[in-house]
A = this chain, B = another copy of it.
Amino acid sequence: MSPPPPIRFGVIGCADIARKVSRAISLSPHATLYAVGSRSLSKAQTFAKSNNFPDDAKVYGSYEELLDDPNVDAVYVPLPTSLHLRWAVIAAKKGKHVLLEKPVALSAVEFDEIVVACESSGVQLMDGTMWMHHPRTSFMKEFLSDANRFGQLKSIHTVFTFCADPDFLENDIRVKPDLDALGALGDEGWYCLRAILWAANYELPKTVLASREPILNKAGVILSCGASLYWEDGKVATFYCSFLSNLTMDITAVGTKGTLHVHDFIIPYEEKKASFYAASESSFDDLVTKWGSEPSKHIIENDLPQEVLMVSEFSRLVAEIKFKNSKPEKKWPAISRKTQLVLDAVKASIDKGFEPIQIQE
């Protein structure tokens, strides 16, 4: 049996991140760059040219036209968060599968509307959290799930920060209340929270408490914040995200029997190789002057970058639906929703003056 033909992607919006994902679509054997749409036709033409779209790719001067093209199987939506609800719902209603940038919406309530639209149309919905698709992530999960090597998760700390330049802090959509009202929490905290939920097997915390004194810009958009999360079983998580600190992306997960360290979990240092550190039943020598053994470094090679693997996995699911009449995979929107739900709780805790927020599904 020959493999199914590649899934035809339409990219709506020419954001910076769309360059990376367009390249990923072009590198995936299961996907093809079919169309790009922008509110400006010339912007779309320039984008198509500079991002290796095929010569016969469709270039549209509006999102509507792209969504009306019956040959578009799936759309990639890198638009500002405030536009997700509108365009993801329209795309779904027009039968397009939706690869949606994170944060998936301004709130879980909004996201639920997107989910309903996708479910009604039977289209696949997945968010653009690339590191989920890196093979390293599975290896780390294997370690965290190993009762002998890691035991029970007790605490986890995640960090995502980068040092935005003055232009970003003035003009980027991620600091604009009408575009990405969740600021650093939506852009960076999303990854921190996803990593925490991932490590906790997507069990929701019962309580979320924002760190006191987040940093906001004049318009009230979060530039830096954090929170602590508490589970029924005593597990604790903390995270910190910021546009105002050096680029850092950490997971430190400590279990009863093991410890995981990774310092580049969102975007690995290198495209085709990534590592993490695992320690198990760590101990000292008799006099407590040195360790019995050091954590071991695990190196994972990947033939394709993680964003390509994301596009391939999404395309595989779309092909299953398109050619084999399968149902959409519900796991992906489910974990998007949980991430957004906890993110909402952090935001609510900040808005309520650092009150603990009980999470309800």
Using a CB–CB cutoff of 8 Å, the interface residues on chain A facing chain B are: 16-17, 19-20, 23, 150-151, 154-155, 157, 159, 161-163, 207, 209, 211-213, 215, 224, 226, 228, 230, 234, 236, 238, 240, 242, 244-248, 250, 252, 254-259, 261, 263-264, 267-271, 277, 279-284, 287-291, 294-295, 305, 307, 356
Q: Are A163 and B271 in contact (CB under 8 A)?
A: no
Residues of B near A282 (CB, < 8 A) are 162, 246-248
Residues of B near A257 (CB, < 8 A) are 163, 246
Residues of B near A267 (CB, < 8 A) are 284, 288-291
Smallest CB separation, A18 vs chain B (Å): 11
Q: Are B246 and A256 in contact (CB under 8 A)?
A: yes
Q: Report the separation of the CA atoms of residues A264 and B279 in the bound assembly, to the nearest whole angstrom.
A: 12
Q: Report the separation of the CA atoms of residues A81 and B154 in the bound assembly, to the nearest whole angstrom.
A: 27
Most buried by B among A162, A211, A257: A211
Q: Are A305 and B289 in contact (CB under 8 A)?
A: yes
Smallest CB separation, A357 vs chain B (Å): 12
Smallest CB separation, A193 vs chain B (Å): 16
Known: A209-B212, A212-B209. A256 touches B244 (CB 8 A): yes
Residues of B near A277 (CB, < 8 A) are 263
Q: Are B238 and A238 in contact (CB under 8 A)?
A: yes
Q: Report the separation of the CA atoms of residues A205 and B228 in the bound assembly, to the nearest whole angstrom.
A: 19
Residues of B near A287 (CB, < 8 A) are 19-20, 23
Q: Are A159 and B155 in contact (CB under 8 A)?
A: yes
Residues of B near A247 (CB, < 8 A) are 259, 279, 282-284, 291
Q: Report the separation of the CA atoms of residues A280 and B245 in the bound assembly, to the nearest whole angstrom.
A: 11
Q: Are B252 and A250 in contact (CB under 8 A)?
A: yes
Residues of B near A283 (CB, < 8 A) are 247
Smallest CB separation, A211 vs chain B (Å): 6
